[in-house]
């Protein structure tokens, strides 16, 4: 009970040490956080993956898929290639439907329309084809999905036809088996993620993005509740390795058991399997090398997750509580041993047989993890402290600012003087600034401002209009705030603006914690950028260096820095002028893409930056330009 | 949360009046805007706001069953008293949906003004008492005196906290019946400072009829309505208590005559006591009783309910017998934490009572941490709820963690407030400097 009732709390020796040296402690915490994060990749922090759900194990029996019964893979593939070349830019719907029907699947097609949100009267239509294999051993209560994005030969992405041929082969084999207790849906989608999203929305009868943007249409046939889904992208007959992709929309991850299952089955079928295109297992590597490989794998996972954009069609399933992964088979270049398509088929067979045996939906194992390797994981209990250290630094800063301020005024130790404390906090101005910055954030939300920008700059392309709109607005705010603060609020001169400072720090801290509960990577990377300037800021008399630092991390500037780095890594040979135009172009495209993602899929990245980062940034910017008295002057009063 | 503008001169007193109107205006505007937007219905569906006991949806269901001549207490749906049933049935029959919302908003404004005058009278009484007893206290007491301007500022704070607190705003736009409950509680507090026994008893019974936990407020009512003559004190206590019991019995009998049977007792009080609905809320019951083995249930129900209802009444009444309003505040806060179906409307109500005790703030130490945790929990609860229910990636433990933190925060706040009262008392008698043999002494609460 001492914690509750000891009156010396807040005035004790330990507290005063913390308060006096809080900046040093904050920086220490920042460094500790980064160090701890890097340590996570080490074997002593990550643990070996394991199966938590025993019901998944039966699929590890010998695979039976073969080329001997019915038409072989080669036949399917040849037929498919001929058909695909006939339609240069379109999907051969009628062929797919007839093919599914020949395989004796219940076949349906599904139409959808996208009303492009940033340009009026622009519509795109698409059509998915899917076939359902009804389970002979139960009513249609549950189902599993095998999906493939169809890519016409003119597509910029690598083709998926071999995967489609494997699907036919698998469907033909599955049709003959008697052990299915869950329906199996074979789904061929069009227009990459858009088709997938439309199909999922139609299947569940909801709308995830802005209403009226994606018209998902209706499905004429359904199976049971989807338990799991596997998205297949195989680019060639001769496969070098299978890469297993996890990152979903808004950084959601599938259950670790499903990921383990995929890796384990690949192992069993001796298919080379990777995560983020890096092999697992430390055989043949020394310890230092293993650590570096693990670290880079983990970092690349963090980068992928932080964007909040799914790295495959599987990512859209997660929101509906469906566990899903993508198996991407890369082409084997040159000679040597390759993985045959049939081996991959057997991996999928094993996965489906395992999933078929599930009695409850995935609930064991982990939903929050980082993977430094194919067979190791870092659980939430280990990586969360990294973020807690960063956010803790913000809280410590807020706490010590507050204590310092109140103890300064308590020196007089009188109740009547307490009134003067509150007077110096200027609630009115502070609430006006806080409210104003958040209203600004609300206005800039993707379903409001972009439509006006594109309407205003009608003649230029969308991404330029967006970049100009947001850029100009940010520029105006950056320039006008200091003048506004200095001129209009001169009568409100006080020694410091503790309340505003504390509110900013707390909002940033709590906001980051909430973001990282959903998407750790995004939360952590944002924290890495924004915690440092927040620590260096004080509630009065900020140095010019701090102001400059804040200017560098303005959300728009951050976007440009990130694009600049990525562009440099992608095209190191560009001339400086070309390079700069490329960076600007890419930033604009990134914004347009993010806006559309928000409106169609409900991606939060844009909303977070506009509703959390921008208001906090603007409040900090105001804080630094609010008029203050010199401290000496105040003391003489 | 305890800081705002503080005027010094008479001109600024007038400014307080303007501030009061401004705050009320903003409060009303926010309520009307939010309840007319889509936001209102999504707030009403939140488990933090609507519990089985106070949700408007259930009231509507119960009323329509009643109008169809079906007994609403037969199912497990309706848990208001028959009095409320008749009242809401009448209300919905004469008013359209929009006007019903206005009734709720009107009740909230009324509550705010009752609290305003309660605070005003209470602070004035405190100052009068202070001038009487000045001589008893230590010479250093000047610093601890309640300044005169508190009687002007505190009421405005109380009113503005009630009008602008998101908890009460959400509770109002979700049209929870907690709004009416809060009105009766405010009236009861008003009767306490006015020392009006009959009004106090009546409003107390009306407030405690649907939840019964708040019947504990009879203790501060007894103390405040007692006569100053020490011989008659016991008799006066007894009269207050008996009046409350008598009014309760009368109301229960009226309820009986409305329904013509006693089944409503089980639907209202049995439902509260046995905790039959384990839907998550901000309280501590749901998680505990889902996890527990069934045959221990009776034992733990008794333990939990005793803790929530009467455990603190007697000891706190003895300790805080000189300050019935503080006693009432702490009892309300404790029930809001420990009762079986708490909602943020209850939390909002006792939070708005805190500025009444502003003279104690000087001795409170956890204010910063407590307010951080309040904000944090308020933001976290919907976040982990989303992860649990929609994303299916988190689980019940995450949400329970947040509610546990919320309860702990509230207990910190209550303890801090009560301890501040004791520290102030001590300081008034012995001065601010706590020195024993030249060393600084520490106050301990044993």
Which H, E and C letters describe A263-325, residue by residue?
HHHHHHCCCCEEECCEECCCCCCCHHHHHHHHHHHHHHHHHHHHHCCCCCHHHHCHHHCCEEE
Establish if A443 touches chain B: CB-CB under 8 angstroms: no
- Count structural domains, chain A: 2
Residues 6+ apart with CB under 8 A from B70: none
What is the reported pTM?
0.89
Taking the C-alpha atoms of residue B343 and residue B406, their distance in angstroms, rounded to an integer, is 12
Task: Provide the 8-state DSSP code for A232.
Answer: E
Residues A119 and A253 in one domain: yes
Residues 6+ apart with CB under 8 A from B207: B181, B184, B185, B187, B188, B214, B217
Residue A158 counted as domain residue: yes
Instruction: Determine how many CB atoms are found less than 10 A away from the CB of residue A242.
Output: 26
Residues A368 and A475 in one domain: no
Residues A109 and A181 in one domain: yes
Residues A344 and A441 in one domain: no
Residues A254 and A192 in one domain: yes
β partners of residue A228: A144, A323
Half-sphere exposure of A65 (CA within 13 A, CB side): 28
The token pair that represents A324 in the structure block? 């899903």
Domain boundary among A374, A399, A415: A374
Pick from B149, B384, B432: CB nearest A413: B432
Q: For residue B391, list chain A residues with Cβ-Cβ distance below 8 A.
A: 252, 318-319, 321, 518
Contact A171, A131 (CB under 8 A): yes
Establish if A432 touches chain B: CB-CB under 8 angstroms: no
Residue A177 counted as domain residue: yes
Give the number of beta-carbon pairs within 8 Å between A and B.
Answer: 96
Q: For residue A401, list chain B residues with Cβ-Cβ distance below 8 A.
A: none
Task: Provide the 8-state DSSP code for A185.
Answer: E
Among A391, A404, A413, A517, pick the best mutation site for testing chain B contact (most B Cβ within 10 A).
Answer: A517
Question: Could you give the 3-state DSSP secondary structure of residue A38?
Answer: helix
Residue whose C-alpha is closest to residue B367's, from A421, A535, A414: A421
Task: Provide the 8-state DSSP code for A611.
Answer: I
| Full 3-state SS string of chain B | CCCCCCCCCHHHHHHHHHHHHHHHHHHHHHHHHHHHCCHHHHHHCCCCCCCCCCCHHHHHHHHHHHHCCCCCCCCCCCCCCHHHHHHHHHHHHHCCHHHHHHHHHHHHHHHHHHHHHHHHHHHHHHHHHHHHHHHHCCHHHHHHCCCCCHHHHHHHHHHHHHHHCHHHHHHHHCCCCHHHHHHHHHHHHHHHHHCCHHHHHHHHHHHHCCCCHHHHHHHHHHHHHCCCCCCCHHHHHHHHHHHHHHHHHHHHHHHHHHHCCCHHHHHHHHHHHHCCCCCCCCCCHHHHHHHCCHHHHHHHHHHHHHHHHCCCHHHHHHHCCCCHHHHHHHHHHHHHHHCCCCCHHHHHHHHHHHHHHHHHHHHCCCHHHHHHHHHHHHHHHHHHHHHHHHCCCCCHHHHHHHHHHHHHHHHHHHHHHHHHHHHHHHHHHHCCCCEECCEECCCCCC
Residue A593 counted as domain residue: yes
Residues A353 and A460 in one domain: no
Residues A228 and A316 in one domain: yes
Edge-to-edge order in the sheet of strand A376-379: A47-48, A376-379, A369-373
Residues A183 and A96 in one domain: yes
Is the backbone of residue A321 left (phi > 0), alpha (psi -120 to 50) or beta? Answer: left
Half-sphere exposure of A587 (CA within 13 A, CB side): 22
CA distance B273 to chain A (A): 30
Domain boundary among A311, A345, A374: A374
Place of tokens 């002057």: A633
Chain B nearest-CA residue for A401 = B368
CB contact under 8 A, A499 and B8: no
Residue whose C-alpha is closest to residue B283's, from B211, B209, B219: B211
CA distance A18 to chain B (A): 15
Contact B298, B187 (CB under 8 A): no
CB contact under 8 A, A7 and B423: yes
Contact A274, A268 (CB under 8 A): no
Percent of chain A with pLDDT over 70: 92
Residue A390 counted as domain residue: no
Residue A521 counted as domain residue: yes
Taking the C-alpha atoms of residue B132 and residue A104, their distance in angstroms, rounded to an integer, is 97
H or E, element range at A214? strand A214-215
CA distance B34 to chain A (A): 16
Taking the C-alpha atoms of residue B110 and residue A162, their distance in angstroms, rounded to an integer, is 72
Q: How far is CA A339 from the centre of its chain?
A: 31
Kindly give the parts of chain A with pLDDT less than 50: 1-2, 4-5, 7-10, 412-422, 424, 631-637
CB contact under 8 A, B393 and A367: yes
Q: Which domain holds residue A603?
A: 426-624
The token pair that represents A348 in the structure block? 């999928």
pLDDT of residue B61: 92
pLDDT of residue A287: 82
CA distance A392 to chain B (A): 12
Residues A361 and A432 in one domain: no
Residue A64 counted as domain residue: no
Establish if A319 touches chain B: CB-CB under 8 angstroms: yes
pLDDT of residue A1: 40
Residues 6+ apart with CB under 8 A from A24: none
Sign of the C-alpha dihedral computed for residues B207, B208, B211 and B214 taken in this order: positive
Residue A458 counted as domain residue: yes
Q: How far is CA A629 from the centre of its chain?
A: 45
Sign of the C-alpha dihedral computed for residues A441, A447, A450 and A455 taken in this order: negative
Burial class of residue B136, CB neighbours in 10 A (0-12, 13-18, 19+): exposed
Domain boundary among A332, A354, A374: A374
The token pair that represents A215 in the structure block? 């018209």
Residue whose C-alpha is closest to residue A290's, from A49, A37, A46, A42: A42
**How far from B98 is each of A285, B65, B101, CA to CA, in Å?**
72, 22, 5
Residue A455 counted as domain residue: yes
From first to last of its 446 residues, chain B has per-residue pLDDT tens of: 333 444 444 556 667 778 888 888 999 999 999 988 888 888 888 999 999 999 999 999 999 999 998 888 888 889 999 999 999 999 999 988 889 999 999 999 999 999 999 999 999 988 888 888 776 665 666 667 777 778 888 888 899 999 999 999 999 999 999 999 999 999 999 999 998 889 999 999 999 998 889 999 999 999 888 877 777 888 888 889 999 999 999 999 999 998 888 888 998 999 999 888 899 999 899 999 998 888 889 999 999 999 888 889 999 999 888 889 999 999 999 999 999 999 999 999 999 999 999 888 888 888 888 999 999 999 999 999 999 998 888 889 999 999 999 999 999 999 999 999 988 888 877 766 665 565 555 665 54
β partners of residue A278: A275
Residues A369 and A436 in one domain: no
The token pair that represents A232 in the structure block? 């297949």
Pick from B5, B376, B379: CB nearest A423: B5
Task: Provide the 8-state DSSP code for A332.
Answer: P
CB contact under 8 A, A403 and B368: yes
- Assign residue A305 the CATH number of its domain: 3.40.630.10
Taking the C-alpha atoms of residue B103 and residue B96, their distance in angstroms, rounded to an integer, is 11
Residues A355 and A493 in one domain: no
Which residues 141-170 of B are in CB contact (within 8 Å) with A? 143-147, 149
Q: What is the ipTM of this complex?
A: 0.87
Residue whose C-alpha is closest to residue A384's, from A57, A18, A36, A77: A36
Establish if A58 touches chain B: CB-CB under 8 angstroms: no
pLDDT of residue A28: 93
Residues A202 and A267 in one domain: yes
The token pair that represents A320 in the structure block? 């509906």
């Amino acid at each position: 009970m001492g914690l509750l009732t000891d009156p010396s709390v807040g005035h004790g020796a330990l507290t005063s040490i913390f308060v006096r040296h809080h900046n040093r402690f904050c920086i220490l915490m920042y460094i500790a956080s980064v160090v701890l994060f890097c340590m996570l990749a080490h074997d002593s922090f990550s643990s070996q993956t394991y199966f938590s759900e025993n019901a998944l194990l039966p699929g590890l029996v010998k695979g039976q898929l073969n080329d001997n019964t019915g038409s072989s893979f080669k036949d399917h593939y040849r037929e498919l290639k001929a058909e695909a070349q006939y339609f240069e830019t379109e999907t051969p719907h009628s062929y797919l439907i007839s093919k599914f029907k020949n395989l004796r699947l219940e076949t349906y097609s599904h139409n959808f329309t996208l009303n492009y949100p940033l340009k009026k009267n622009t519509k795109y239509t698409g059509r998915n084809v899917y076939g359902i294999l009804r389970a002979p051993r139960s009513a249609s209560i549950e189902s599993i999905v095998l999906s493939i994005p169809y890519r016409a030969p003119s597509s910029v992405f690598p083709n998926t036809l071999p995967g489609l041929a494997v699907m036919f082969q698998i469907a033909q084999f599955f049709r003959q088996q008697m052990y299915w207790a869950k329906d199996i849906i074979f789904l061929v989608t069009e227009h990459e993620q858009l088709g997938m999203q439309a199909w999922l929305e139609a299947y569940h009868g909801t709308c995830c993005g802005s209403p009226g943007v994606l018209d998902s249409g209706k499905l004429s046939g359904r199976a049971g509740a989807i338990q799991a889904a596997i998205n297949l992208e195989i680019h060639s007959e001769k496969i070098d390795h299978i890469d297993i992709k996890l990152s979903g929309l808004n950084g959601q991850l599938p259950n670790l058991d499903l990921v383990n299952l995929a890796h384990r089955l690949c192992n069993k079928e001796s298919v080379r399997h990777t995560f983020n295109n890096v092999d697992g297992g430390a055989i043949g590597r020394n310890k230092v090398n293993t650590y570096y490989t693990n670290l880079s794998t983990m970092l690349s996972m963090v980068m992928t997750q932080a964007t909040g954009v799914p790295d495959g069609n599987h990512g859209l399933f997660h929101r509906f509580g469906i566990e899903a992964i993508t198996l991407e088979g890369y082409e084997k270049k040159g000679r040597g041993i390759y993985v045959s398509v049939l081996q991959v088929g057997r991996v999928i067979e094993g996965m489906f047989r395992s999933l078929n045996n599930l009695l409850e939906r995935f609930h064991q194992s982990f939903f929050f993890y980082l993977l430094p390797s194919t067979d190791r994981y870092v659980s939430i209990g280990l990586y969360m402290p990294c973020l807690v250290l960063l956010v803790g630094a913000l809280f410590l800063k807020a706490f010590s600012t507050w204590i310092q301020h109140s103890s300064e005024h308590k020196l007089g130790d009188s109740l009547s003087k307490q009134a003067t404390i509150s007077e110096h906090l200027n609630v009115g101005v502070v609430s006006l600034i806080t409210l104003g910055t958040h209203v600004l954030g609300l206005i800039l939300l993707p379903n409001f401002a972009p439509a006006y920008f594109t309407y205003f700059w009608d003649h230029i392309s969308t991404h330029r209009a967006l970049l100009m709109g947001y850029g100009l607005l940010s520029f105006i705010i950056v320039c006008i705030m200091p003048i506004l603060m200095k001129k209009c609020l001169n009568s409100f001169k006080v020694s410091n603006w503790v309340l505003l400072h504390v509110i900013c720090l707390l909002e940033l801290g709590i906001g980051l914690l909430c973001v990282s509960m959903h998407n750790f990577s995004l939360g952590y990377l944002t924290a890495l950028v924004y915690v440092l300037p927040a620590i260096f800021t004080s509630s009065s008399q900020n140095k010019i260096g701090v102001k400059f630092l804040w200017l560098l991390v303005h959300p728009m500037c951050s976007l440009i820095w990130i694009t600049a780095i990525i562009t440099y890594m992608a095209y190191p040979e560009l001339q400086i002028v070309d390079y700069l135009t490329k960076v600007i172009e890419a930033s604009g495209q990134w914004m347009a893409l993010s806006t559309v993602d928000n409106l169609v899929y409900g991606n939060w990245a844009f909303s977070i930056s506009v509703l959390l980062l921008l208001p906090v940034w603007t409040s900090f910017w105001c804080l630094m330009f609010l008029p203050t008295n010199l401290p000496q002057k105040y003391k003489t009063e | 949360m305890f800081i705002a503008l503080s005027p010094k001169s008479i001109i600024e007193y007038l400014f307080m009046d303007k501030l009061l109107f401004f705050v009320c205006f903003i409060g009303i505007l926010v309520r009307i805007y939010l309840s007319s937007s889509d936001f209102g219905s999504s707030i009403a569906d939140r488990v933090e706001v609507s519990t089985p006991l106070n949700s408007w949806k259930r009231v509507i269901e119960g009323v329509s069953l009643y109008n169809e001549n079906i007994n609403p207490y037969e199912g497990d749906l309706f848990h208001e008293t028959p009095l409320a049933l008749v009242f809401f049935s009448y209300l919905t029959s004469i008013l359209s949906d929009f006007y019903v919302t206005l009734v709720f908003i009107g009740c909230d404004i009324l509550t705010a003004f009752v609290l305003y005058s309660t605070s005003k009278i209470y602070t004035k009484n405190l100052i009068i008492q202070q001038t009487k007893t000045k001589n008893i206290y230590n010479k250093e007491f000047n610093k601890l005196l309640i300044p005169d301007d508190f009687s002007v500022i505190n009421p405005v704070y109380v009113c503005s906290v009630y009008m602008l607190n998101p908890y009460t705003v959400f509770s109002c736009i979700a049209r929870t019946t907690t709004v009416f409950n809060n009105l009766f509680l405010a009236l009861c507090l008003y009767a306490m400072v006015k020392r009006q026994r009959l009004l106090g008893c009546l409003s107390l019974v009306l407030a405690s009829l649907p939840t019964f936990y708040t019947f504990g407020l009879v203790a501060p009512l007894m103390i405040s309505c007692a006569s100053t003559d020490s011989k008659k004190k016991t008799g006066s206590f007894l009269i207050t208590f008996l009046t409350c019991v008598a009014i309760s019995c009368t109301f229960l009998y009226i309820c009986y005559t409305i329904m013509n049977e006693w089944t409503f007792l089980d639907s209202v009080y049995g439902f509260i006591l046995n905790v039959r609905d384990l839907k998550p809320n901000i309280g501590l019951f749901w998680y505990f009783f889902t996890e527990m083995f069934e045959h221990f249930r009776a034992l733990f129900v008794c333990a939990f309910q005793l803790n929530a209802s009467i455990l603190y009444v007697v000891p706190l009444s003895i300790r805080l017998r000189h300050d019935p309003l503080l006693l009432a505040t702490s009892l309300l806060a404790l029930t809001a934490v420990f009762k079986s179906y708490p909602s943020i409307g209850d939390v909002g109500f006792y939070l708005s009572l805190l500025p009444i005790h502003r003279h104690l703030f000087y001795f409170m130490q956890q204010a910063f941490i407590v307010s951080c945790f309040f904000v944090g929990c308020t933001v976290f609860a919907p976040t982990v709820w989303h992860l649990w229910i929609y994303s299916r990636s988190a689980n019940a433990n995450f949400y329970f963690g947040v509610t546990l933190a919320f309860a702990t925060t509230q207990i910190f706040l209550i303890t801090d407030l009560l301890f501040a009262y004791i520290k102030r008392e001590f300081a008034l008698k012995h001065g601010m400097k706590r020195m024993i043999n030249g060393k600084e002494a520490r106050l301990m609460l044993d």
